[in-house]
């Protein structure tokens, strides 16, 4: 993102020197010869830096400082004068000046000022990113556990695509670990040193979501007491994770599509076009194809997001991972609550393997935490699990209200898992040809219901 500077000085030679020095340092520079013109330009272009002479025709440099910072309080203003006095320096600093320099200004002084401003911007950015992370919950790690073949295939695909700049769409039921995989994509990418910013698209109203994503100007709406940078600005150089993208309102979808296509956007209530190079990772537990048919999701946005779809299998389809996950969550819960380490009984483990787990890994984690707290000894038994109303996983294939296609998909994938994904053997068991089986897998792959490798 390029930096803009504004130079306000009625001395043509001094103004020319300052403009050239800033341009040499990579700034885009606007200039003005009067205070009034400088204020108008400063409010219009919202520069990253203002250098203003103290004595100007009309309003002086301190009034310029006050008027610009009243509209844009984050803009650093450097006041210059050939008539330096302690009283005027103190007045400028009290008005919010970043620094006070005596003319004539040397190239070395300009370099020192710009270096100091670079450090200041970095600290401000780091603080805002940290605040954004705190607002969206604790940081996650890449410690994703699993041995299931289909689950590992999804992780391998995520690692491969992480090295690129491609947009990723994570699909899967709630609790399957989509945010953890998004974090993996970020931390295994070239943007790992940049911010990882998360936005839950289902948690905010349309107006609040628009403001969160794109920011807003002071006075843009009731309660907008100051300018706020949006998540697209905070995520520059990093990754923006759009969770529950299927819940995004249509109006916001149009704005998002523009950013994906051009990298351009405006803050709410603003006119200046901003740019963002944030990498997008989106996630959904919705069937976006159905949402498109129902007019609730834009088809053009879907194709922009669905560059690399990665599907995470539900826990009921990776039952071989349950012992590993159970032991992990038991150790974590014991550590978090200062309790003795527990292990699960064989009877309890069998019950855990027979559950449907509609909440997937997240639900299993909550179950094991509760079990650690209620268990009287070091063994978590069947009664400690609190699972009296759960149905066996085998019933889930024909649950009331489930579509025939979903029943068929679960039966086929379950059979493939039981045969080690030997398609010929699985087709023989199912009573269909291997070609029929392959065709069904290809259809599900294009809809993101199975991983690329599986199909």
**193-249, pLDDT tens digit by residue?**
889 999 999 988 999 999 999 999 888 888 888 888 899 999 989 999 999 999 999
Higher-confidence position of 135 and 188: 188
pLDDT at 140 over 50: no
pLDDT at 394 over 50: no
Contacts of range 90-95, beta carbons closer than 8 Å, 24 or more positions apart = 91/62, 92/54, 92/61, 92/62, 92/65, 95/62, 95/65, 95/66, 95/69
CA torsion sign for 385, 387, 392, 397 is: negative
Question: Which of 394, 409, 424 marks a domain boundary?
Answer: 394
pLDDT at 52 over 60: yes
DSSP label at 319? G
When the pLDDT of each residue in the chain is averaged and rounded to a whole number, the result is 84
Nearest to 447 by CA among 314, 318, 304, 302: 302
Query: Is the domain of 345 the same as that of 306?
Result: no
Nearest to 175 by CA among 341, 25, 363, 2: 363
Nearest to 242 by CA among 250, 231, 234, 233: 231
Nearest to 64 by CA among 42, 45, 93, 81: 42
Cβ(189)–Cβ(206) below 8 Å: no
**CATH of residue 404:** 1.10.10.60
Q: Tokens 């043509």 sit at which residue?
A: 12
CA distance 13 to 351: 83
**CATH of residue 281:** 3.40.50.300
Tokens of 94: 């009290």
Predicted pLDDT of residue 288: 93
219: left (phi over 0), alpha (psi -120 to 50) or beta: left
Query: Within 13 A of 146's CA, how many CA atoms are on the CB side?
Result: 23
Cβ burial 97-126 (10 Å sphere, 16+ → b, else e): bbbbbebebeeebbeebbeebeeeeeeebe
Predicted pLDDT of residue 449: 64
The predicted-structure confidence for 278-314, as pLDDT tens digits, reads as follows: 999 999 999 999 999 999 999 999 999 999 999 999 9
pLDDT at 112 over 50: yes
The answer to whether residue 142 is domain-embedded is: no
Q: Which residues pair with 168 in a beta bridge?
A: 281, 308
For helices 404-418 and 434-446, the axis angle rounded to 10 degrees is: 120
**CATH of residue 336:** 1.10.8.60
CA distance 203 to 196: 18
Query: Is the domain of 282 the same as that of 158?
Result: yes
The answer to whether residue 219 is domain-embedded is: yes
Cis peptide before 104 (omega within 30 of 0): yes
Compute the radius of gyration of the chain from its Cα atoms: 29
CA torsion sign for 295, 298, 300, 305 is: negative
Predicted pLDDT of residue 348: 86
The answer to whether residue 131 is domain-embedded is: no
Query: Is the domain of 11 the same as that of 99?
Result: yes
Query: Is the domain of 274 the same as that of 415?
Result: no
SS3 of residue 337 by DSSP: helix
Mean pLDDT calculated for residue range 70-94: 77
The answer to whether residue 211 is domain-embedded is: yes
For helices 423-430 and 404-418, the axis angle rounded to 10 degrees is: 130
Query: Is the domain of 172 the same as that of 290?
Result: yes
* Maximum separation of any 2 CA atoms in the chain, in Å: 94
**CATH of residue 54:** 3.40.50.2300
The predicted-structure confidence for 349-377, as pLDDT tens digits, reads as follows: 888 988 888 889 999 999 999 998 988 88
Question: Around Cβ 47, how many Cβ atoms within 10 Å?
Answer: 23
Query: Is the domain of 167 the same as that of 256?
Result: yes
Mean pLDDT calculated for residue range 74-102: 78
Q: Tokens 């400088």 sit at which residue?
A: 38
Query: Is the domain of 387 the same as that of 404?
Result: no
Question: Which of 261, 286, 311 marks a domain boundary?
Answer: 311
Query: Is the domain of 178 the same as that of 302?
Result: yes
DSSP label at 28? E
The answer to whether residue 420 is domain-embedded is: yes
CA distance 355 to 343: 19
The answer to whether residue 262 is domain-embedded is: yes
Predicted pLDDT of residue 85: 62
Mean pLDDT calculated for residue range 165-173: 95
The predicted-structure confidence for 421-454, as pLDDT tens digits, reads as follows: 778 878 877 888 888 888 888 887 776 666 555 5
The answer to whether residue 222 is domain-embedded is: yes
Query: Is the domain of 344 the same as that of 271?
Result: no
Question: Which of 311, 337, 356 marks a domain boundary?
Answer: 311
Query: Is the domain of 217 the same as that of 298?
Result: yes
pLDDT at 141 over 50: no
The answer to whether residue 133 is domain-embedded is: no
57 phi and psi angles, rounded to 5 deg: -65, 135
CA distance 94 to 161: 51
pLDDT band, very low/low/confident/very high, at 393 (cuts 50, 70, 90) = very low
CA torsion sign for 434, 176, 212, 139 is: negative
CA angle at residue 336 from 332 to 342, to 5 degrees?
50
pLDDT at 396 over 60: no
pLDDT more than 90, % of the chain: 36
Q: Which domain holds residue 81?
A: 3-120
How many domains, the chain?
4
Cβ(261)–Cβ(218) below 8 Å: no
CA distance 424 to 436: 11
Query: Is the domain of 377 the same as that of 299?
Result: no
Query: Is the domain of 332 the same as that of 298?
Result: no
The predicted-structure confidence for 309-350, as pLDDT tens digits, reads as follows: 999 999 988 988 998 999 999 999 988 888 888 888 888 888
């Amino acid at each position: 993102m390029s930096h803009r500077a504004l130079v306000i000085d009625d001395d043509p030679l001094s103004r020319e020197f300052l403009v050239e020095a800033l341009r040499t340092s990579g700034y885009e520079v606007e200039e003005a010869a009067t205070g009034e013109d400088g204020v108008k330009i400063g409010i219009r272009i919202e520069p990253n830096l203002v250098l203003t002479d103290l004595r100007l025709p009309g309003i002086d440099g301190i009034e310029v400082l006050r008027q610009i910072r009243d509209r844009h309080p984050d803009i650093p203003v450097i006041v210059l004068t050939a008539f330096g006095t302690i009283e005027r320096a103190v007045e400028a600093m009290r008005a919010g000046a970043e620094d006070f320099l005596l003319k004539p200004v040397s190239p070395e002084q300009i370099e020192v000022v710009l270096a100091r401003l670079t450090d200041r911007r970095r600290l401000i950015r780091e603080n805002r990113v940290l605040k954004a992370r705190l607002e969206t919950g604790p940081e996650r790690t890449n410690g994703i556990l699993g041995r299931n073949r289909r689950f590992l295939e999804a992780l391998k695909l995520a690692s491969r695509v992480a090295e690129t700049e491609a947009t990723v769409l994570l699909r899967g039921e709630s609790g399957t670990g989509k945010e953890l995989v998004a974090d993996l994509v970020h931390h295994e990418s070239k943007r790992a040193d940049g911010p990882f910013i998360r936005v839950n698209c289902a948690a905010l109203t349309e107006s609040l979501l628009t403001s969160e994503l794109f920011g807003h100007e002071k006075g843009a709406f009731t309660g907008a007491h100051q300018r706020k940078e949006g998540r697209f600005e905070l995520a520059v150089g990093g990754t923006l994770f759009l969770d529950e993208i299927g819940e995004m309102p249509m109006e916001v979808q149009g704005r998002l599509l523009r950013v994906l296509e051009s990298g351009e956007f405006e803050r709410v209530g603003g006119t200046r076009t901003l740019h963002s190079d944030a990498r997008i990772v989106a996630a959904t537990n919705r069937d976006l194809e159905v949402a498109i048919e129902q007019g609730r999701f834009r088809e053009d946005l879907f194709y922009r997001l669905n560059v690399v779809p990665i599907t995470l299998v539900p826990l009921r389809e990776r039952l071989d991972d349950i012992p590993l996950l159970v032991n992990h969550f038991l150790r974590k819960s014991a550590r978090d609550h200062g309790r003795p380490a527990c292990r699960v009984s064989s009877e309890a483990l069998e019950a855990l393997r027979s559950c449907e787990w509609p909440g997937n890994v997240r639900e299993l984690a909550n179950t094991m935490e509760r079990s650690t707290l209620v268990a009287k000894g070091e063994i978590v038994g069947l009664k400690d699990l609190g699972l009296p109303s759960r149905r066996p996983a085998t019933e889930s294939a024909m649950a009331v209200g489930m579509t025939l296609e979903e029943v068929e998909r679960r039966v086929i994938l379950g059979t493939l898992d039981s045969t080690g994904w030997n398609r010929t053997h699985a087709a023989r068991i199912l009573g269909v040809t291997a070609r029929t089986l392959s065709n069904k897998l290809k259809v599900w792959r294009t809809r993101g219901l199975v991983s690329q490798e599986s199909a």
